[in-house]
Amino acid sequence: MKSMTSSIPISQLKPPRNVGMKKLDKSKFLVTRKVWALLLPEIRYVNEFLDRKTRTTPTSLVLNIPQQPSLVEFPKGTLLESLVEKLSDKNPKLKALLLREDIAVTEKDVDHTHEDDYKPELLKDKLTLQQYERLSDLGAVFKIYELKFDFDYWAYDDILKAILPDDLVEQCPSAFTIAGHLVHLNLKDQYMPYRHIIGEVILEKFPNIKTVVNKTNNITSEFRTFEMEVLAGEDDFVVTQKESGCQFTFDFKNVYWNSRLATEHERLINSFKAGEIVCDVMAGVGPFAVPAGKKSTLVFANDLNPEAYSYLQQNIKANKVDLFVQPSNLDGRKFIETSVQLISNFRERTPFVKYPVKVLNSGNKGKKSKSLEEQPNKKRTSKIDVPLFPSHYVMNLPDSAITFVNAYRGLYINSFNGKSKEEIKDLPGYKLPIINVHHFEKYKEEEIEGDVHTELEKRMHKKIVEQLGYDIPLEDVSFHVVRQVAPCKLMYCISFRLPEEVAFQS
Picking from 352-361, 377-386, 391-400, 488-497, which range would have the lowest pLDDT averaged per residue? Answer: 352-361
Q: Where are the domains of the chain?
A: 28-151, 155-236, 257-356+380-504
Let me know if the fold of 155-236 is the same as that of 257-356+380-504. Answer: no
Q: Is 18 annotated as belonging to a binding site?
A: no
pLDDT tens-digit series, residues 238-277? 999 999 999 999 999 999 898 999 999 999 999 999 999 9
pLDDT tens-digit series, residues 142-183? 999 999 999 999 999 999 999 999 999 988 888 888 999 999
User: Which CATH number describes the domain made up of 155-236?
Assistant: 3.30.300.110
Whole-Å CA distances, 20 to 25, 162, 260: 12, 9, 31
Cα 231 to chain centroid, rounded: 21
The answer to whether the CB of 269 falls within 8 A of the CB of 288 is yes
- Split at pLDDT 50, 70, 90, the class of 372 is very low
* Cα gap 435→438, rounded to integer Å: 10
pLDDT at 42: 85
pLDDT tens-digit series, residues 316-340? 999 999 999 999 999 999 999 999 9
- Split at pLDDT 50, 70, 90, the class of 139 is confident
Is the pLDDT at 373 greater than 50, yes or no? no
- Its pTM stands at 0.81
The answer to whether the CB of 332 falls within 8 A of the CB of 397 is yes
pLDDT at 265: 97
Q: Would the CA dihedral through 450, 453, 456, 462 be positive or negative?
A: negative
pLDDT tens-digit series, residues 190-200? 999 999 999 99
The percent of residues in the chain predicted with pLDDT above 70, rounded, is 90
- On whether the 257-356+380-504 domain is CATH 3.40.50.720, my answer is no
Is the pLDDT at 56 greater than 80, yes or no? no
DSSP string, 177-216: EEETTEEEE---GGGGGGHHHHHHHHHHH-TT--EEEEE-
Assign 251 to helix, strand or coil: strand
Q: Is 366 annotated as belonging to a binding site?
A: no
- Residue predicted with more confidence, 43 or 83: 43
Picking from 18-22, 292-296, 305-309, 319-323, which range would have the lowest pLDDT averaged per residue? Answer: 18-22
Q: Is 123 annotated as belonging to a binding site?
A: no
Hey, which of 162-176, 212-226, 378-392, 470-484 has the most confident mean pLDDT? 470-484
pLDDT at 449: 82
- Residue predicted with more confidence, 87 or 171: 171
Instruction: Supply the DSSP symbol for 498.
Output: P
3-state secondary structure 99-146: ECCCCCCEHHHHHCCCCCCCCCCCHHHHCCHHHHHHHHHHCCEEEEEE
Q: Is 304 annotated as belonging to a binding site?
A: yes
Q: Mean pLDDT, the chain, as a whole number? A: 89
pLDDT at 201: 96
pLDDT tens-digit series, residues 96-129? 899 999 999 999 999 987 888 899 999 999 988 9
* Cα gap 454→85, rounded to integer Å: 77
Q: Is 392 annotated as belonging to a binding site?
A: no
Q: Is 251 annotated as belonging to a binding site?
A: no
Element (H, E) at 269: helix 262-269
Q: Would the CA dihedral through 7, 13, 18, 24 be positive or negative?
A: positive
The answer to whether the CB of 126 falls within 8 A of the CB of 103 is yes
Is the pLDDT at 68 greater than 80, yes or no? yes
pLDDT at 84: 76
* Cα gap 116→193, rounded to integer Å: 54
